[in-house]
Structure formats: structure tokens, C-alpha cells
Amino acid sequence: MSDKDPVFNPKIAPEQLSRADWEALLSPVEYAILRESGTERPGTGRYLHNDQPGAYHCAGCGNKLYGGEHKFHSGCGWPSFFQEAEPGSLKTIVDRSHGMLRTEMRCARCDGHLGHIFPDAPQTPTGKRHCVNGFALVFVPDGAEPLEILRAHRSGD
């Protein structure tokens, strides 16, 4: 286990990690999404069809991002949530890339790219669709210890 891993070392500030540090911690697809604002192809990400009770944590730093109770089936091809786990879990920035004006969301702790927020979910309590890359997340089932799940995830179990 790397002492530079923000999941297990609360003293390390994620912004101090170099590109090589992140590459060593993350899988290639996680790196492409979280650190290079990539997007998984629709329908291919993990957790799209997961309805187990539990919580979704950042694959970069372990920050809790979403509760399973906030997940809904949008049909868009990416895991969708109508709100974050708690205020401050995320930060949002205006994204003008690809000729569109969108609201990008990032992990508030490690600045990892998660996806975008769209105001097109009138069937939910907030009206919002947090369209999240499944590979940016690690799911922790209710009753499990988050650090154990995250450790197993890092080691590829």
C-alpha cells in the first residue's frame, strides 16, 4: 500500500500527488476519467444496474460521494443520482468544452472528474441528474467497512 494513497493516508493532500503517483494508484480507465476528465462509453461503466443498499465513494480518494438511496434509473447509460451524499461532497465548475455549456462535477477532496449535472430529471426530488462515470466510483455495501472495500479495490480483488 502506498503511503501516498489519499484513501489510507488522511495527512496527504491529494493535490500534492504527481501524475505518476495517480497512475500508480488508479487503473488506466480510472485515471483517464478522474484525472483527464474522460468519459466511459454509455452502458459500459460499473454500477449502472446496481441497486444494493450502500454508498458510493470516490475511486481516487475514498471520499463518500453518493448514497444508494439517491440513485435512480435515468436510462442515459451512466449511473445517475439526484443529489450528493451531503453538502460539500462535490464541487461544480462550468464546463465549456465540446461547444456545450455544462455543469461539471468533481470530487471535493481530490478534484477528480466525476461527470456532469443536468437539470433533466423531473421524476426525482431535485429535478437533477448527476450523470456519473461508474469507474470514478467504488461501491461500499451497507454493513461493510469502507476502508476494507477500498483496500480490496486498490489491490484488484
Amino acid at 53: P
Amino acid at 109: R
Instruction: Indicate which single residue of 25, 29, 58, 132 sits in contact with Zn ion (rule: CB under 5 A).
Output: 58
**Residue 54 within binding range of Zn ion, rule CB under 5 A:** no
**Least Å distance between CB 46 and Zn ion?**
16
Cβ proximity to Zn ion, 56 vs 82, nearer residue: 56
Amino acid at 61: C
Q: How many whole angstroms separate alpha carbon 117 and alpha carbon 128?
A: 7
Which H helix or E strand runs over 116?
Answer: strand 113-118
Cβ proximity to Zn ion, 110 vs 132, nearer residue: 110
Q: How many whole angstroms separate alpha carbon 24 and alpha carbon 26?
A: 6
**Residue 115 within binding range of Zn ion, rule CB under 5 A:** no
- Which positions lie near Zn ion, rule CB under 5 A? 58, 60-61, 63, 107, 109-110, 112
Catalytic site residues? Answer: 131
